[in-house]
Chain A
Amino acid sequence: MADIVLDHITKRFPDGRVAVDDLSLAIADGEFVILVGPSGCGKSTTLNMIAGLEDITAGELRIAGKVVNHLAPKDRDIAMVFQSYALYPHLTVRRNMAFPLTLAKRPKEEINRRVEEAARLLGLTEHLDRRPAQLSGGQRQRVAMGRAIVRSPRAFLMDEPLSNLDAKLRAQMRTEVSRLQRRLRTTTVYVTHDQTEAMTLGDRVAVLRSGRIEQVGTPAELYSRPVSVFVAGFIGSPAMNFLPATLEHGELRTPFGPIAPDDRLRRLLHRWDGAAVGRRSLVVGIRPEHFEDATLPTVRDRPGPRFTITVDVLEPLGSDTYAYFTLKDDRAPAAGLAELAPGEAGLSGPAGQVVARLDPTSRLREGERAEIWLDTSHLHLFDPSTGRSLDAGPG
């Protein structure tokens, strides 16, 4: 058990490419921290540096207070789970899991006891004498986990461990990883590009963007107070809707019509340095769940703008209904939006498409006009030139 401190870590590859740029992050003992971001953001490189598989160009990495920059991976006492599982194909499950203990020259009885304990924990007991090739994807994933936990390392590093599993198994293993970590209370750094895993697994989530940390916080913080368009668009599924707005006479002019700012928004706008230099355009971010079918009794009497749209596509999921509609105005041009890989955050749709998450009792129909209500108390405002949230202060 140990804490891990990344102190102004930089990784520059021999070809000059900077993969990780001055990254600082303190991971407490027993904490479950997620590094999340689109591909190429440096999250795997960061993990490899913690493991010792990549050299650190600059900065200091401390595990349990000790600088380990130049320690070989084997001397760091950490375990890693790879995306490919990296099971040794020529060894049985038992010997795969025993491998770290065998290398550490532990007594045979201890190895047996610990392997069997881990196997029981992961439901692998009856597979101990099989080879990895004879196992299913989920079982292989479990063996990889078993190999990591069997020697009680100071920390677990997991590099997209679930991304090779099918959706159902992934959800199942996600809860299992979570349960395992809660039970063992071992410091864990988990890399993923899947925002669902990030939101559900971690104590804290660090969103990475081109080698830098964009925001660190609990999943709830990231969701409710994203510091930038990038984080806002990455966290949450379906993704936040971004729409252009202008500030005129103290009123927000949006494609839905004017919105009179409430106290919170007024305070944000007042603090905004853009207003001081005479800029008027903003980006408004709205989570899909802050729309509602205006005809529903739950929202009939609530204040807030109502507007009429035509539903393009309706996706009834049972628990929710997603309604897609298009607004005349273009998609908000904001710094950071383009970097979200297409498809990854649901931004691949046509320009100006908005998604609303409605109550399943809603009677909307595809192709028909409908009245939508907007809850303005959860609006996010971003500066289009920097992509930063007005709530985040200067970035």
Chain B
Amino acid sequence: MTYSENKKVDLVVVGAGLAGMAAALFALESGLKTVLLGSTAGEMFFASGALDLLGIHPIEQQKRWEKPWVGISSLIEDCPEHPYARLGLENIRNGWNKFLDILRRAELGYRGWPERNIMLATCAGTFKITHQVPETMWPGVIGFKEKLATLIIGFEGMKDFSAVQMVNTLRDRWPGLRAQRLKFPYPLTGVERQNVFMAEALTSPEVLAKMAKAIISSLEREELVGVPAILGLRQSQAVTAELERQIGVPVFEIPTMPPSVPGLRLRDAIEQELLRLRAVLMQGGRAVAINQNGRKCLDVVVQSGQSQEAIGTRGIVLATGRFLGGGLVAGRNGIREALLDLPVYQPEKRKDWHLHSFLDPRGHPVNRAGLEVDDLLRPLGPDGRCACENLFVAGSLLAHQDWKRMKCGSGLAIATAYGAVQSFTNHC
């Protein structure tokens, strides 16, 4: 193990999901020397690409908020322990707006109404309540609002997307829909990561032109065309615009099952921005320990392959996620925090982790397990006081929230990342 004082950085962000990446972005923006640890392949791969702020609260009553910011105010009042309440409305707004600015700068277009939520039609024929969607999904949002006659395109052999299913399921709520199945203009394989494979194929102008031709010949009176979210990898807006030009009507993308191409685009755009801002990305690195001196963290021990090194730092943001991300580890007898064994707020017994119905609107108690923090987002130690002065938590690792049910995942990641970096800047 090596340790060199000159390697000392301002902030080490552990975990490279949306929260970790956002924290690194905010830190670099304020001129901090920042290391981002971990691979981004995990959860972003599964993210829809849409950015949720707050959709439902209280979940027990399934109260839906058309105006998310009003919903957040109500949530802050009702649940003082929710991370949003720790942050306060102003921090959430500042973080959210700043993040959208960064995406704009990264030329990854996002759209939404300033104060209102979006009802985004999914490939299951259901609606996802969200606040900002990729530009390429926006015409679909308008199309549903105005009930435009719309052609939904599916592809033979694309097993996670059925235009027929979407159209049938939505029939009552969006009567002008019609489904058309086409042959994908490039040989498809039956293997995994099909969506990514198709998106890549469509970056070829020839393949795209073939698809445009097939769509033109199936268009009847439709004013809008919906396709699964596979219109190119990075240059999705350009690919979509080109397709629109060739077929002569607006086109939109529909969120799919994982792997999510819009999720990958979001990851790639942020990664480019991080590199531009000179972040140190250690994607193969895994934090294995943190050395402390009393209530102060000194460094993060990073394992890369066979070698270990300690990165000295002034502060740490812990954004390791939950069970899927590896931040929390569940054994038969309890839940532990993986890196520092910090106390985890959790139901007393495993039998109380989950309700008897999977889709019970109250949400499973285990979803609210996680790290409890003070107002600066510093995790609490066994004594109920902040465990380390310069350690902050961001994202889904935080206790007292159920992002899947409240539809607040991206907002939670972004706002707590912003809050964590603010706390570090102001107090370390």
Same assembly = no
Task: Please list the residues of chain A having a beta carbon within 8 angstroms of any beta carbon in chain B.
Answer: none
Task: Please list the residues of chain B having a beta carbon within 8 angstroms of any beta carbon in chain A.
Answer: none
